[in-house]
Structure 1
Amino acid sequence: MAKKGFPETQHRGKEIINRVCHILLKYLAIKKIILFGSRGKGTAHLGSDFDFAVDTTKPGSPVEMKIMEEIEEVAGLHQVDIIYLRDVEKDFKKIVLKTGRVIYER
């Protein structure tokens, strides 16, 4: 029986986070990546999505499509959302910055 927190799931979650960061950094000049939502707060459960906020200029459609294709391959059945901090409302940005966890910073 798995212990509380599903250790094998936590390992898979960390793997997804690392691989998504690698994909984003491969295509974009990023200042900061923030993991927010339940994963950023540490309250995620089996099946929780992954929410990433990226401090960079939003790429053009062809690059964004390539990024999302690669992320979908890595994430499998997990939902992954990417937001660009420069494109969101100030109030939402404040929440992300306050409650999220910086996982990459240049």
Structure 2
Amino acid sequence: MHCKAFPELMAWQIQILKDAIDEDKWLLSERAGRDVGLPFATADFERRHLRTCAISWRIMYCGSICDHRDGCDIGKRMVARDKARQEETTESTTA
């Protein structure tokens, strides 16, 4: 099983990662009252956000953006995983 849109997925993920790091850099710089620099912001983002963002971004791409999503087993698994995660979250907040 492989991703039919792998090059497009990678290009999209690179762009969204750059945008997210830029936003994190801006927020960190605002808090610090100075430019914290791209290396610091990149390390901060990787340490605090990358794991959860990577999963969310893959679900977003496979479930909403990819042109192959209707016939893709990977996309269907990602969407099912997200649905199960949302149901678990709903159950834990209502319990």
- Give the helix-richer structure, 1 or 2: 2
TM-score by length of 1: 0.29
TM-score by length of 2: 0.32
Determine which structure has greater relative contact order: mean sequence separation of CA pairs < 8 Å that are 6+ residues apart, divided by chain length: 1
- Give the strand-richer structure, 1 or 2: 1
Larger Rg: 2
